[in-house]
């Protein structure tokens, strides 16, 4: 069972009160007052009663919470229990190791996956799980990544800039224009697409959100200046209402319809290219697909790659662009 962020914040307050030896046996009213003091809202008594029931469930926290009728309050039957020191099971450790294996195989340089794998190894080391040196294990997960890709030497600095909302300057190289330009950006997010990484940031020169490939970013430097915030809704629209990363200029989000032949219909059914994708299958086995996205250069390249097996029906301007190279 998943635990929401707001629920876990209440769980931590309940846990702290049940471990407070100076004020033992807190009741629901005591817990409610503590929540009102430390949170920006006051949960109802019914909510807190439900929280305690959930904490006691084995698939949540398996907390040994007991109600004392004599003292009219709650306590831990195991005084050493805390939600901050829940032991990992063998299955938990196996799952974490598999996650570590996946991270090691993700696209990126060693500097990228070392950042995350080191954190996981610290978690396992707390439970005396060792990673023997030189132990060659059978690889069961492999991703499509070629060593030597540019840009990952700046990954950690760009990640920290996104986390800390710190403006930065860098030199950007345009492959199409074959020239360098200086950029002052307010970083928001790192995004991966087609095994390549990109920085999503607000560009002062463009006065809008822009996408910068990590392979084209040189000499990033953090700046001491006011960070320009972009509304979350605008960021999510820019990042998710698109297939790819480079939206076509002056094109808004729109419905796109395309027809696939019987040879590739099953592929699009098995691997939707966007969460908005819908299908209407014909008796012949071909299918009409619709997606609601901002058109991008990557989408045009994808459509063109299928040649005669894919035909854009709507809008007309996109139909003409994708037919031009067939």
Q: Order across the sheet with 254-260: list the strands.
A: 278-281, 287-293, 254-260, 310-314
Q: What is the DSSP code (8-state) at residue 309?
A: G
Task: Please choose, from the candidates 208, 199, 198, the residue with its C-alpha nearest in 3D space to the C-alpha of residue 231.
Answer: 208
The SS3 assignment for 185 reads strand
Confidence class of residue 111 from pLDDT cuts 50, 70 and 90?
Answer: low
pLDDT, residue 306, reads 93
pLDDT, residue 321, reads 87
Check pLDDT > 60 for residue 182.
Answer: yes
Confidence class of residue 132 from pLDDT cuts 50, 70 and 90?
Answer: very low
Confidence class of residue 128 from pLDDT cuts 50, 70 and 90?
Answer: very low
End-to-end CA distance of the chain: 51
pLDDT, residue 150, reads 78
pLDDT, residue 86, reads 63
pLDDT, residue 10, reads 92
Burial (CB count <10 Å: 0-12, 13-18, 19+), residue 53? exposed
pLDDT, residue 41, reads 83
Residue listed under structure tokens 């340089």: 109
Query: What span, in angstroms and rounded, lies between the C-alpha atoms of 117 and 113?
Result: 6
pTM above 0.85, yes or no: no
Query: What span, in angstroms and rounded, lies between the C-alpha atoms of 105 and 24?
Result: 49
Check pLDDT > 60 for residue 125.
Answer: no
pLDDT tens per residue, range 148-165: 667 788 888 998 999 999
pLDDT, residue 43, reads 92
Task: Please choose, from the candidates 82, 75, 63, 73, the residue with its C-alpha nearest in 3D space to the C-alpha of residue 29.
Answer: 73
pLDDT, residue 301, reads 93
Q: Cis omega (within 30 of 0) on the bond before 12?
A: no
User: Of the given ranges (1-5, 13-17, 124-128, 229-233), which has the lowest mean pLDDT?
Assistant: 124-128
Cα 53 to the center of its chain, rounded Å: 30
pLDDT, residue 124, reads 58
pLDDT, residue 134, reads 45
Check pLDDT > 70 for residue 8.
Answer: yes
The average pLDDT across 240-257 equals 93
Supply the mean pLDDT for the chain.
85
Q: Torsion angle, CA of 212/213/217/223, rounded to 10 degrees?
A: 40
Check pLDDT > 80 for residue 5.
Answer: no
Query: What span, in angstroms and rounded, lies between the C-alpha atoms of 55 and 8?
Result: 10
pLDDT tens per residue, range 45-93: 999 999 999 999 877 788 999 999 999 999 999 988 888 776 666 777 7
pLDDT, residue 117, reads 60
pLDDT tens per residue, range 250-288: 899 999 999 999 999 999 999 999 999 999 999 999 999
- Kindly calculate the radius of gyration of the chain based on its CA atoms and give it in whole angstroms: 26
pLDDT, residue 133, reads 46
User: Of the given ranges (214-218, 317-321, 322-326), which has the lowest mean pLDDT?
Assistant: 322-326
Check pLDDT > 70 for residue 180.
Answer: yes
pLDDT, residue 131, reads 46
Check pLDDT > 70 for residue 18.
Answer: yes
**DSSP letters along 17-80, please?**
HHT-TTS-S--HHHHHHHHHHHSSS---HHHHHHHHHHHHSTTTT---EEEETTTTEEEESSTT
Check pLDDT > 70 for residue 114.
Answer: no
Cβ-contact 197, 158 below 8 angstroms: no
The average pLDDT across 132-151 equals 59
User: Of the given ranges (40-54, 92-106, 233-247), which has the lowest mean pLDDT?
Assistant: 92-106
pLDDT, residue 257, reads 97
């Amino acid at each position: 069972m998943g635990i929401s962020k707001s629920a876990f914040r209440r769980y931590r307050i309940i846990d702290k009160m049940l471990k407070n030896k100076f004020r033992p046996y807190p009741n629901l009213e005591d817990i409610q007052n503590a929540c009102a003091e430390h949170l920006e809202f006051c949960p109802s008594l019914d909510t807190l009663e439900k929280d305690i029931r959930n904490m006691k469930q084995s698939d949540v926290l398996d907390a040994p919470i007991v109600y004392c009728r004599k003292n009219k309050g709650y306590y831990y039957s195991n005084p050493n229990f805390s939600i901050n020191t829940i032991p990992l099971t063998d299955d938990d450790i196996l799952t974490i190791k598999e996650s570590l294996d996946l991270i090691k195989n993700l696209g990126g340089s060693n500097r990228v996956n070392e950042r995350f794998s080191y954190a996981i190894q610290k978690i396992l080391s707390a439970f005396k799980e060792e990673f023997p040196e030189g132990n060659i294990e059978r690889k069961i997960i492999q991703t499509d990544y070629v060593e030597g890709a540019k840009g990952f030497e700046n990954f950690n600095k760009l990640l920290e800039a996104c986390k800390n909302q710190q403006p930065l300057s860098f030199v950007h190289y345009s492959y199409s224009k074959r020239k360098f330009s200086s950029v002052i950006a307010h970083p928001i997010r790192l995004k991966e697409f087609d095994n390549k990484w990109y920085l999503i940031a607000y560009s002062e020169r463009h006065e809008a959100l822009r996408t910068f490939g990590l392979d084209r970013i040189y000499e990033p430097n953090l700046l001491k200046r006011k960070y320009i915030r972009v509304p979350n809704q605008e960021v999510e629209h820019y990042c998710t209402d698109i297939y790819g990363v480079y939206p076509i200029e002056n094109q808004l989000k729109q419905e796109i319809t395309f027809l696939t032949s019987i040879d590739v219909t099953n592929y699009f059914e098995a691997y939707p290219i966007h969460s908005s994708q819908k299908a209407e299958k014909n008796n012949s086995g071909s299918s009409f697909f619709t997606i609601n996205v901002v058109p991008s250069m990557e989408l045009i390249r994808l459509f063109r790659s299928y040649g005669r097996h894919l035909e854009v029906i709507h809008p007309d301007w996109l139909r003409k662009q994708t037919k031009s190279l067939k």
